[in-house]
Structure 1
Amino acid sequence: MTAPAADRDAEVTRLLAQRLRAGAEAALADPPAREADAARDADACLQALVGLLVGSRAPEVAWLVLTLLAGAYPGADDVREIRRAADLEDGDGLTLRLLERAHAIAAAHRGHDREAVVTSDVVVDVDMCARFDFHNGIQRVAREVARRWADRAVTFVAWTESAGATRALTARETERATRWRDTGAAALGLVEEEDGDAARQPLVIPWRSRVVLLEVPLPDLRSSRLATLAELSGSAVSAIGYDAIPLISADIRPLGEPNGFVTYLTAVKHVRRVAGISESAAEEFRGFSGALDAQGLAGPVVTEVVLPTTVPPAPEGWVRREPARPLVLSVGRLEPHKNHGALLQAAERLWSEGADFELCLVGGPGWDSSAVEADMARLQAAGRPLTWRRGVGDAEMWDLIRSASCTAFVSLHEGYGLPVAESLACGTPVLTTRYGSQGQIARDGGCVVVDPRDDDDVLDGLRRIVTEPGLREELRAEASRRPARDWDDYAAELWVALVEGTA
């Protein structure tokens, strides 16, 4: 064996011994004495853990030992096979079965190249927020919560490149997830790949812990691994419930997205608690949870923790001045479920009636914006006062919202409708959907509500809010009386719902 190969084998043995030692010290009341030789120490810890598995027959022990050996999370079939083997094999036979299964998992994920931390602390998954600069609605919620949970006893994690297991964050990722600063790039949908230090971060393995999902995981192996973790690892998993749009409104989402969302639901059906971001979102997840009775599963306990409506303070000395030409602002990515087509048609009909107003759309192109972009190009070519703004940073966005005569957000389906709440918090009236989460927000005042599927109703609502300055003044007064609730309130309530509620 050449020197580099020998050195490599020695390093792999050292890393294996470290992971098994970390697991033994976390799971065993009396872990074996540490051996100076890495191979001997690994063997001593493995045999002690196998003894725990033989004695307990517990699936969480099988999950833990497979994870330690492979350096990656096992699937449900892996855990169940080892659990059955514990009933049939002696210690040596079970050890061989574990090594065989772990080798296949390790080959797929190369987790054997890492050390591991085994923790019973609260583990918080912020994968997308940590690895990418993307900053849409879900990422905004997750980052605001992570910022406020950073001083609690939590461990923030992302996923390894192969989606095999969770790992510690780099310094740059921690900054991105918990101390986000807008650069403007995120508004364009630009992403920054994980930095080079990520491959050197230790795995974070929860052991009888509480795991919180602040985001919706990417539709890959994460979901199946999370499902196994939630069902068989002995850790309690909880999640924010944003919406079930890909399932309930699959006709207005990209092909394939419903399939990806269903893989996410395979994890949700085993989580302990879900906190819906609105009454509407909570009802969607309660419906899913209730349906699990047909599978003999209890399903998650679903509560409602409504998102806050806080916004940055207006600049010093700022005074609202109504534009000479009423300005209608629409904030949101150009995607079919946002229903920009209905808004553009209503605007065109209102312009044809002789109404004088400007319409400004703010947001990047979504998965299918071709029809809306064609409509905008046609209207602009006809000289209509229509603009489309992309790449708008946070500061400019807030200035636009505060300066607008009103905003329009007539989405067909939303988990919450953050642009509605944020506009109202800025004192800007809103034209919005009368049902679902948007209707829930509108109940406290400041809105004209319409049926987004009724073109005439959208036109009537737009006509009223554009042509009646007195109505806009009334709606601003209503908005000023709305109950205030900030991100500190939300993060604290979420902690109670998802962490303390899973103890």
Structure 2
Amino acid sequence: MGKIEARPGDILLLLDAGWNNVDNYPQAISAFREKGGAVVAGVYDLFPVLYPTLYGPELVIAFETWLSEVVSRSDAVVAISRSSAKRYAEYAMMRYKWCSSQKIGWWRLGANLLAETSGEPTAAAIEIAAQGPFFLCVGTIEARKGYPVALEAFERLWAENIDVNLVIVGRPGWNAQAFEQRLRQHEEKGRRLFWLDDASDADLRHLYRETRAAVFTAFAEGFGLPLVEAAQCGAPIIASDIPQFHELGGSDVRYFNLLDSASLADALMQALSDEKRPPCVATLTWRESTIELIGLLRSGAYQMEVSAISRDIATAGLATTT
């Protein structure tokens, strides 16, 4: 493959995990700009700098370096949600005071889980779904997903002899070994508590379709892809009361108080008594998501400017001091 030469009007889109190879970027960015090209950085979330105790120090340092050496030097930023875009703009201005002219946009991710027709669910997934009413949690086992809140809510129901199952689908993540051990040793494991750490797409589709509701307990999300998958498969949705889930789910999602297992237990009981109906949540396929991103880049119609966020921050600061 030959070397790619930039031309005026070209766009270099940085969508990879660039914090792993920061040294490779500054020279490439400068060379691209010298040829008249523009550089756009993709931002998924800011979790390593917003919640550094959840990650190793090496990742936190690498991520901060990537923000200051790569993202700050980009002409524009595209985030995977409006919430993430706003959080990035606020962080950039409050922490670094950089890029007052930088433009920021966002686009929505897609999901094709429903369109995938190959394969059948495993016997294990079919058996779990057939054992009785169950709720489904989907996502990597990591601290920000709030899984302990889900488990505590179900322990409340089990203590009241409510016969309902909790099914968790997600691979082991990071800094969650204690909770993983709790799952493996739980007295309800294999009875009313099930953890599938290697489920197939067919398994997941089947579980989404059969669950009373998909439950999302995260306290921080960049986008919330499983919520989109759940909606595409027709699963009712219960989610923590955070801006990202409101952005995706709107008024057709049942929300519970953040990190409040009692509030979640109440929402679960309501879902058990209500008639099950698919949510009206707007979703995209991956093809549609790609078209939306390319349209944003080509039009340059970015929805936000850091300068506007800076004015909002200044106004908020003035309001709190008067």
Structure-2-length-normalised TM-score: 0.79
User: What are the within-5 Å matches in structure 2 for residues 268-283 of structure 1?
Assistant: 268-283=71-86
Structure 1 contact 249–413 (Cα < 8 Å) conserved: no
1:456 matched to 2:262? The reply is yes
**1:492 match:** 291
Change (3 A) 1:300 1:393: farther
User: What amino acid sits opposite 1:462 in the alignment?
Assistant: L
**2:18 match:** 217
Change (3 A) 1:416 1:484: closer
User: What amino acid sits opposite 1:224 in the alignment?
Assistant: D
Structure 1 contact 413–436 (Cα < 8 Å) conserved: no
Q: Any unmatched runs of 5+ in structure 1?
A: 1-114, 122-206
Change (3 A) 1:299 1:271: farther
Change (3 A) 1:400 1:283: same
Alpha-carbon offset, residue 209 of structure 1: 4.3
1:353 matched to 2:160? The reply is yes
1:286 matched to 2:92? The reply is no
Tell me how far apart the structure 2 counterparts of residues 403 and 337 of structure 1 sit (CA, whole Å): 26
**1:328 match:** 135
Change (3 A) 1:227 1:289: farther
**1:253 match:** 55
Tell me how far apart the structure 2 counterparts of residues 272 and 314 of structure 1 sit (CA, whole Å): 37
Q: Any unmatched runs of 5+ in structure 2?
A: 121-128, 302-322
Tell me how far apart the structure 1 counterparts of residues 274 and 209 of structure 2 sit (CA, whole Å): 16
1:380 matched to 2:187? The reply is yes
Q: Tell me which of 12, 25, 40 is aligned to 1:226.
A: 25
Alpha-carbon offset, residue 269 of structure 1: 0.5
The DSSP-based 3-state class of the residue aligned with 1:359 is strand
Tell me how far apart the structure 1 counterparts of residues 131 and 148 of structure 2 sit (CA, whole Å): 26
Residues 434-443 or 209-218, more deviating:
209-218
**1:238 match:** 40
The DSSP-based 3-state class of the residue aligned with 2:110 is coil
Alpha-carbon offset, residue 500 of structure 1: 4.9
User: What amino acid sits opposite 1:389 in the alignment?
Assistant: L
Structure-1-length-normalised TM-score: 0.52
Change (3 A) 1:310 1:381: closer
Tell me how far apart the structure 2 counterparts of residues 228 and 463 of structure 1 sit (CA, whole Å): 57
Tell me how far apart the structure 2 counterparts of residues 494 and 258 of structure 1 sit (CA, whole Å): 28
User: What are the within-5 Å matches in structure 2 for residues 424-439 of structure 1?
Assistant: 424-439=231-246
**1:400 match:** 207
Change (3 A) 1:289 1:227: farther
Q: What do you get for the CA RMSD once the two structures are aligned?
A: 2.9
Tell me how far apart the structure 1 counterparts of residues 4 and 30 of structure 2 sit (CA, whole Å): 18
> 1:24-71: per-residue Cα shift (whole Å, max 9, x none)?
xxxxxxxxxxxxxxxxxxxxxxxxxxxxxxxxxxxxxxxxxxxxxxxx
Tell me how far apart the structure 1 counterparts of residues 39 and 293 of structure 2 sit (CA, whole Å): 14
Structure scoring higher RCO (CA < 8 A, sep ≥ 6) equals 2
**1:105 match:** none
Structure 1 contact 328–406 (Cα < 8 Å) conserved: yes
The DSSP-based 3-state class of the residue aligned with 1:420 is helix
Larger Rg: 1
Change (3 A) 1:353 1:265: same
Tell me how far apart the structure 2 counterparts of residues 333 and 372 of structure 1 sit (CA, whole Å): 12
Change (3 A) 1:298 1:223: farther
User: What amino acid sits opposite 2:149 in the alignment?
Assistant: A
Change (3 A) 1:427 1:293: same
Tell me how far apart the structure 2 counterparts of residues 223 and 232 of structure 1 sit (CA, whole Å): 16
Tell me how far apart the structure 1 counterparts of residues 131 and 191 of structure 2 sit (CA, whole Å): 16
**1:443 match:** 250
Alpha-carbon offset, residue 450 of structure 1: 1.4
The DSSP-based 3-state class of the residue aligned with 1:356 is coil
Change (3 A) 1:225 1:300: farther
Tell me how far apart the structure 2 counterparts of residues 236 and 383 of structure 1 sit (CA, whole Å): 54
The DSSP-based 3-state class of the residue aligned with 1:380 is coil
The DSSP-based 3-state class of the residue aligned with 1:396 is helix
The DSSP-based 3-state class of the residue aligned with 1:387 is strand
Alpha-carbon offset, residue 231 of structure 1: 4.7
Identity %: 23
